[in-house]
Structure 1
Amino acid sequence: MKSRIIFFLFFDLIISAITLYSAYLLRFNLDIPSSMIEKIPTIFATIFILKFIFLYMFRVYFLIWRLVSLQDILNIIKAHIFSYGIFTAIVLTSLNFYKIDFLLPIPKSVIIIDFALSLGIIAILRMGRRLYFENRIPEVSNPTLIIGVDEGVDFIIKKARRGKIPYSPVAILDLKKDSKKINNYISNLKVYGIENLEKVVTNYGIKSVIVTKETSSLDALFENLKNLGVSDFKVASPISNKIKNVSIEDLLARHPKDLDLEAIQKFIEGKRILITGAGGSIGSELSKQVEKFGADEILLLDHSEYNLYQIGENLKNSKHKNYLLNIVNRDDLEKVFQANEIDLVLHSAAYKHVPLCEENIGSAIENNIFGSINVIDLAIEYEVPKVVIISTDKAVRPTNVMGATKRVVELYAQNVDSGNSEIGAVRFGNVLGSSGSVIPKFKKLIENNQPITVTHPDITRYFMLVSEACQLVLQTGTVSQGGEIFILDMGEPVKIVDLAEKMKKLYGKESLQIEFIGLRPGEKKFEELLISDAEMKTKYESIFVTEPTKIDFRQLQKDISKMLFADEVRKLEILKNIVPEFQHNQNLGN
């Protein structure tokens, strides 16, 4: 630190002497009168002392050359204004009080010229090193194309030119057609249109690509670049500016364009919110989202000690309580409602894994149906204003126990007398990377160089990022009036075999085999989101709502009660009676 201050002090001393003498030369056309020369040392000493004091006060002597910022330049300007302002005041005082004449004579124009020269040279030389490193074109060892024109572009170029990342940006591609930025330059790199992708890759010999902007066309972009021979594909986080390998989640992400974050915040802010299944894939993300949107207090409820501990540790910026209990136990659950004036219930607690529910039919029915009924009934009894139930696409024409139990809960929520509570359900497909989903399973097989197992060549599934799904779930609460089943627009279904092929490309393991092992018990080839074509649009294009299914609620209650003490065979018969479209596929084989 001391050596840096001494270096800059010496640097400024030399510059100040040169600029002052140059100011006199310019003022007197290179012929300085002898009467002026004898005063220059005194004037120089006074100006430099003032300059040093103010440059030190504005911390100019503590900056790092390679990181000089606009704020640092502004501080240099302020230091000059103050130092030359005080010097001018001293000179004016000398003119009015002849006894103080140690700085006289001095032409006012010399002060102005010296101010301009000193400010310009000191600022330029301090900024010069940074400008050099940021604008020099390093030796191109890894020609890199940057895709997306936003704030992240300049950051990546600077990091590359400082040698902080092993990439050499040579061109920029704008994803927007007819963008005004096309054919312009950013940090000496030309911006091309997306239609020039092949030409840019070929002409520049592109080996790596960094995508800086979220786009729903990332999947197609990845395929095009792979076909053009580009093997290194990265994405830059718009928040952290970190560069990471592209993931399958990045490729399949949909990025809904109608997320109304302002409406979600108004809906969540200041509320006391109960989240059941708070430690699960959906529940934990809901917990993080409501914290982000300003919930007053979050009540985390889960029957898994580990999961509850994990989500509790992740919520550091909010007031929350942890409830370790099972929703099947009504008495314990009621104590939570008694102890808290709850504004919103987000019910995500459920057994969701199809094969496990097939092996444990009684437990699936008890947890998913009776546990959910406990949540709904207590919310009504304690007049919770709003309840949002997480459902699934497997509830549509179910072929498995899990889907059938979720459909029963939908029917119960739509037909119960909800009193002062507004109860709605949200139906969507698979969330990317959730526990037990196909993506972590495929990833593990690929990393271990094992064949990828797919149940059927034609099987398809809907996918959505868990963060996007949960934000849309919260958004449904802003439009729910009770009794609805909302359906999230999941885009086009993805063939699982295509997903496997894409992951092989992503990890550079294209030689791995894919083995078809046959559909598991209860598994469908194709998931659906609608039971009938009766769907209505909401004000958000990513959220639809179905017409309610009206049934005899008393009969529904009787049928559900019968399941409580029935054996497994009888339980399935009752499920089929409640959900006539339930076609139980216990073992479909190939």
Structure 2
Amino acid sequence: MIRPSPFKRTLFFMFFDAILSLGTLFLAYNLRFNFDIEKQYLENFFLVFSILLFLKITAITYFKIYRVSWRFVSLYEAKKLFYAHIFAYGLFVLIFYAFPEAFSPFPRSVLIIDLFLSVFFIGILRMAKRLIVEGRSNINLTKTLLIGVSPFAQTLFKEQNDFYISAIVDDSEMVVDSYFSNMQVNKFEDIEMLVQRDGIKSVIIAKALDQDILKSLYLRLHALNIYDIKIVTLEQKEKRLKKITVEDLLARHPQDLDLETIATFIKEKSILITGAGGSIGSEIARQCKKFGASSLTLVDNSEYNLYQIGEQIENAELKLVSITDKDRLDMVFKEIMPQIVIHAAAYKHVPICEDNQEMAVFNNVLGSKNVIDVSIENGVKKVVVISTDKAVRPTNVMGATKRVTELYANNVDAKETEIVSVRFGNVLGSSGSVIPKFKQQIEEGGPITVTHPDITRYFMLIPEACQLVLQAAAIAKGGELFILDMGEPIKIVDLAKQMVRLYGKEDEVGITFTGLRPGEKLYEELLIDESEKKTQYSSIFIAQPTPYEIGQLNEEIDNLVYG
């Protein structure tokens, strides 16, 4: 669809505003004199017209009415048009009384008549253009159901889109049966009827919905063979539409995120993040930037990952360092003198760690020990160690290395440094997780490979998990092992089925079971046998750390790494 440029649209309306203004003024004279105008009153007609036209165009421009797309004309724009006319005609009255001889004779009642005629016809011009052009263009647009009355929904009517909103529904009784942008708002119960009546092919969800409602809504739309479903997302502080994903359906949004506590913890602090180029580390870096860290030092052993996160965060110090290189790490700490260290660096993929056990131990155990030791030696105020549910009764090398790291973090002589571990499960959409893998398999035509029909995992969105990590760190006193509430575990096969439904390919993509991989658990746990304690936040718990004699632990780590 060809869209007129703002300049062409402005010229179009200025031209027709001028023609209409000429017509309304002449009609106002005729109405005033009952269509029998005395010649003397027309002598200064064009003077009056010229001044009024200049004032009207100036006022309409000032009120930014020429910037409004003809696809959107509402009561708000009508009010602005009326105010612009009041402004213009008010100025004309001032000019008239300043120079009365120039306009004499002039019947002042003509102004009042012309004011209302001009508002009416100039307003009708805009409405008519919208109706004519939209009526022509909507034939080829996708009929769309709008779910949710919201300020963002209002903007959808203003913009030129490749869809046409043919019906609106909302779950709030406060707005049902009212009118929104000249369309009646229907009940949620009417969705099936509206889809069948209007031949709706796509849906836009323009307001935040409870997770259970969103899932139920998705299933209802799927039953109606509607797969084009979009929701609102916040990107760089601007709301946009995006296609609904499995992350949106599975996401758990913690009810007690304390952003003020996180901000107090982060603001004006010098923060160093290891593994800053990874899924967790990079998101923590973005969160720290958002919450006002005075400086950010991003450490990673991958040049590419470091470059990627560096492009997103201005003025961050980028340090290409392996955590296994203690001397180099110590140099960085002495240069930066961080107040807070967030340790997110680790080899995390279970099969790779199983096939490369020595390197997994070297990186995850020795590297973590290096980070903790260097932090203590350089007087870091607080160290936050990212752990995993795989550390609970580990059956694989990766989980075992993380459990050793937990034990060291909770038992080392920390001196003045507060050290805390935070344990949580899988995050949705992280690199190497099942969701990107399933997406690729679906796009390639399948089949989706799942290791076991009963395998389950915990899931949480990356931003929410990272915010909870920072929140736990903010309330830590040192020595705690925090556990994030991950909700109920999800069957991986159910996740796979849900993703296939999202793509609308139930008849094309199958699921194949490949058997558990070496070291892979059927289900994960977040607790071993530690007694669980509640914090002031329902999403964060404290597990009593396991005491371990640090001398013996150091000896066992040396044997593990160098033996």
Single out whichever of 121-130 and 73-82 deviates more from structure 2. Answer: 73-82
State how far apart, in whole Å, the 2-side matches of 1:10 and 1:203 are: 41
**Could you give the per-residue CA deviations for residues 274-310 of structure 1, whole angstroms, max 9, x where no partner exists?**
1101111211222222223332221110111221122
- For 1:201 and 1:514, the matched residues in 2 are separated by 31
SS at match of 2:468: helix
Q: Which has the higher mean CA deviation after the structures are superposed, 149-158 or 413-422?
A: 149-158
Q: CA deviation at 1:364?
A: 1.7
**Deviation at 1:395?**
0.8
Of stretches 555-564 and 430-439 in structure 1, the one that deviates more from structure 2 is 555-564
The residue identity in structure 1 corresponding to 2:332 is: V
Candidates 343, 347, 350, aligned match of 1:347: 343
Structure 1 residue corresponding to 2:442, chosen from 441, 446, 470: 446
Q: Distance in 1 between matches of 2:439 and 2:138?
A: 37
1 CA distance for matches of 2:457 and 2:264?
33
Quick one: distance in 2 between partners of 1:60 and 1:169? Answer: 24
User: Partners in 2 of 1:285 and 1:384 — Cα distance?
Assistant: 22
Matched-pair contact (CA < 8 Å) for 1:265–1:293: yes
Q: Please state how far the C-alpha of 1:5 moved relative to its aligned partner.
A: 6.7
User: Which residue identity lines up with residue 185 of structure 1 in the other structure?
Assistant: Y
Please report how far the alpha carbon of residue 120 of structure 1 lies from its aligned counterpart in structure 2 after TM superposition.
4.7
Query: What pairs up with 1:483-522 in 2 under 5 angstroms?
Result: 483-510=479-506, 511-522=508-519
How far off is 1:324 after superposition? 0.9
Query: What residue is the counterpart of 1:333 in the other structure?
Result: 329
Contact preservation (8 Å) 2:530, 2:545: no
Taking structure 1 as reference, are residues 519 and 62 closer, same or farther at Cα in structure 2, changes over 3 Å only?
closer
Q: Is the 8 A contact 1:212 1:238 kept in 2?
A: no
Counterparts of residues 30-49 of structure 1 (less than 5 Å): 32=37, 35-49=40-54
Name the residue aligned to 2:92: 87
Matched length? 553
1:223-258 deviation line (CA, Å, top 9, x unaligned): 333234434433343555554433222222223333
Specify which of 178, 184, 200 is matched with residue 178 of structure 2: 184
**Residue 16 in structure 1 maps to residue 21 in structure 2:** yes
> In 2, distance between residues paired with 1:396 and 1:528?
6
Contact 2:535 2:541 in 1 (8 A): yes
1:182 and 1:2 map into 2 onto residues whose CA distance is: 39
What displacement does 1:77 show? 6.0
What is the alpha-carbon distance in structure 1 between the residues aligned to residue 501 and residue 43 of structure 2? 79
Deviates more, 1:132-141 or 1:516-525: 132-141
Match of 1:480?
Answer: 476
Identity, % of aligned positions:
52
1:487 counterpart SS class: strand
After superposition, what is the alpha-carbon deviation per residue over 1:167-206, rounded to whole angstroms, capped at 9, x for unaligned? 44333333x4x53122333335443444454455455554
> Which segments of 5 or more consecutive residues in structure 2 lack a partner in the other structure?
1-5
Pairing partner for 2:453 from 457, 460, 465: 457
Aligned residue number for residue 271 of structure 2: 273
Task: Please name the residue that 1:580 is paired with.
Answer: none
Which region of structure 1 is more displaced relative to structure 2, 439-448 or 339-348? 439-448
Normalized against structure 1, the TM-score is what?
0.83
- Mapped contact 1:140–1:168 kept (Cα < 8 A): no
Find the residue that maps to 1:237 and give its secondary structure.
strand
Tell me the CA shift for residue 393 of structure 1: 0.5
Deviation at 1:57, TM superposition (A): 7.0
- Superposition map of 1:80-479 within 5 A: 80=85, 83-94=88-99, 101-126=101-126, 128-130=128-130, 138-139=138-139, 143-156=143-156, 164-165=161-162, 167-174=163-170, 176=171, 179-202=173-196, 204-215=198-209, 216-217=211-212, 218-237=214-233, 239=235, 242-315=240-313, 318-479=314-475
Equivalent residues of 2:351, 2:518 under 8 A apart: yes
Partner SS for 2:562: coil
Q: Are 2:71 and 2:157, in contact at CA under 8 Å, matched by a contact in 1? A: no
Q: Quick one: structure 1 residues 10 and 440, their matched pair in 2 at CA, closer, same or farther if it must change by over 3 Å?
A: closer
1:424 alignment partner, SS class: strand
**Counterpart of 2:23 in 1: which secondary structure?**
helix
1-structure distance, mates of 2:131, 2:417? 62
Q: Deviation digits for residues 479-526 of structure 1, max 9, x if unmatched?
A: 222222222221211111222222222333324333322211111101
| 2:150 aligned partner, one-letter code | D
Distance apart, 1:80 and its partner CA: 4.4
In structure 1, the partner of 2:3 is none
2:541 aligns with 544
Aligned residue type for 1:543: I
Letter in 2 for 1:144: T
Instruction: Give the superposition deviation at 1:470.
Output: 1.5
CA distance in 2, matches of 1:58, 1:213: 30
Contact 1:412 1:556 in 2 (8 A): yes
Q: Contact 1:213/1:238 (CA < 8 Å) preserved in 2?
A: no
Query: Structure 1 CA distance, aligned partners of 2:361 and 2:186?
Result: 57
- Normalised TM-score (structure 2): 0.86
Matched letter for residue 535 of structure 1: E
Counterparts of 2:7 and 2:297, CA distance in 1: 54
Matched-pair contact (CA < 8 Å) for 1:388–1:425: yes
Q: Distance in 2 between matches of 1:185 and 1:61?
A: 26
Are the equivalent residues in 1 in contact too, given 2:272–2:342 (CA < 8 A)? yes
Could you report, residue by residue, the CA deviation over 1:44-100 in whole angstroms, capped at 9, with x for unpaired residues? 3443344456666777667764577999878766764554444323332345xxxxx
Structure 2 Cα separation of the partners of residues 519 and 262 of structure 1: 43
Relative distance call for 1:323 and 1:180 in structure 2 (3 A) is same
Q: Call closer, same or farther: CA 1:464–1:9 in 2, change over 3 Å.
A: closer
2 CA distance for matches of 1:117 and 1:477? 67
CA distance in 1, matches of 2:479, 2:61: 68
User: In 2, Cα distance between the equivalents of 1:190 and 1:62?
Assistant: 27
Root mean square deviation, CA, Å: 3.3
